[in-house]
Amino acid sequence: MEFCQVKLEGHAHSMTIYISGFLAELAATRTEVMVDGLREGTRVVRVDLRGVEIIDPTSFVRVARSLSRWRDDKRGNVLIQFPERSTRASQPAFSLPVRSSFSLHSSSHLGIFDTVPERVALRR
């Protein structure tokens, strides 16, 4: 069972790398190999991440750095198409009971705008 797919589509002067599934170590390694092996004359590399479900930040940085090295070495252009943001409602990991009011102090304390009474001097 594969958790990711990395495919390459070539044109006269451009390449598209499609990544789908999980962008983790395996996908990053496959992408780095593809970028290192791009043919001479390629001017534009497009990376399509729309099929990615989960992105591991470290693996994404590896992909971005390999693309950046290629761009600097070949003086090419790189375009990255990101997946759309999730529309799924996020759920908290845990929930606390709902209170109608919350105060760190008992109600006998002064409010923020009340006059502060004179303080008793500290003894020596």
pLDDT of the residue at 12: 87
State the distance between the two ends of the chain, measured CA to CA, in whole angstroms: 77
pLDDT of the residue at 107: 54
pLDDT of the residue at 60: 95
pLDDT of the residue at 7: 96
Q: Which stretches does DSSP call E strand in 11-70?
A: 14-23, 44-55
pLDDT of the residue at 34: 95
Task: Count Cα atoms within 13 angstroms, Cβ side, for 8.
Answer: 18
Task: Give this prediction's pTM.
Answer: 0.67
Which stretches of the chain score pLDDT less than 50? none
pLDDT of the residue at 106: 52
Per the rule left: phi > 0, alpha: psi between -120 and 50, beta: everything else, 65 is alpha
pLDDT of the residue at 19: 96
Q: Is the Cα dihedral 13, 18, 23, 28 positive or negative? A: negative
pLDDT of the residue at 101: 53
